[in-house]
């Protein structure tokens, strides 16, 4: 080989070896950063904080040593639902899916859940009847409940058609 070829080969080797040396030094410094005690401490803290959060007792219990008493609704106590005008109706199908039976003591109310028992009291005569909500309505402004024809007979409102009532939720 000529002297020029040998010098060129040695330069390439030297340049290649310098690059290789720089790559190794860079990789070693990155590996050292990943293995530093600060990195390990952060990793250890992250692991223990998750575990400690699970193992620590709930702090709210320490703030309130006695259980908080909540008011419970007594089923026997009647709650006044509303005052207004009642009418009676007849239909073939109810909103709850039941078939309408004019002989049952049922009612239609716009918001109360199906199955709610209401005590409907005629304010002028004092007569009352307990009905079960199984339909939606009435859809006439000012009316609070529609009762079945048998409940209307019990209230004595069949001839009048409508009457002023007070509604009390029984159950």
List, for residues 143-164, the tens digit of each pLDDT value.
999 999 999 999 999 888 899 9
Measured CA distances, 138 to 16, 28, 56, 141 (Å): 93, 82, 56, 8
Say yes or no to pLDDT of 139 above 90.
Answer: no
Pairing of strands 117-122, 79-88: unpaired
Say yes or no to pLDDT of 13 above 90.
Answer: no
Nearest residue to 157 (alpha-carbon basis) of 92, 101, 85: 85
- What pLDDT, on the 0 to 100 scale, is given for residue 64? 47
Mean pLDDT of 34-44: 55
Let me know: does 88 contact 157? Beta carbons within 8 Å: yes
Residue 91 binned pLDDT confidence (cut-offs 50, 70, 90): confident
How is residue 97 annotated by DSSP? S
Say yes or no to pLDDT of 7 above 60.
Answer: no
- What pLDDT, on the 0 to 100 scale, is given for residue 24? 87
């Amino acid at each position: 080989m000529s002297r020029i070829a040998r010098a060129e080969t040695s330069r390439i080797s030297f340049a290649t070896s310098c690059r290789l040396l720089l790559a190794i030094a860079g990789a070693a410094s990155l590996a050292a950063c990943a293995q530093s005690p600060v990195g390990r401490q952060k990793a250890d803290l992250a692991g223990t904080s998750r575990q400690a959060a699970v193992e620590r007792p709930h702090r709210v219990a320490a703030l309130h040593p006695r259980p908080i008493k909540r008011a419970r609704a007594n089923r026997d106590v009647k709650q006044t639902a509303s005052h207004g005008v009642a009418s009676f109706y007849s239909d073939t199908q109810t909103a709850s899916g039941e078939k309408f039976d004019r002989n049952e003591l049922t009612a239609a109310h716009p918001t109360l859940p199906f199955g709610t028992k209401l005590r409907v009291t005629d304010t002028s005569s004092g007569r009352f009847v307990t009905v079960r909500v199984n339909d939606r309505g009435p859809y006439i402004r000012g009316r609070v409940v529609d009762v079945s024809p048998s409940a209307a007979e019990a209230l004595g409102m069949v001839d009048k058609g409508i009457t002023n009532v007070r509604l009390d939720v029984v159950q």
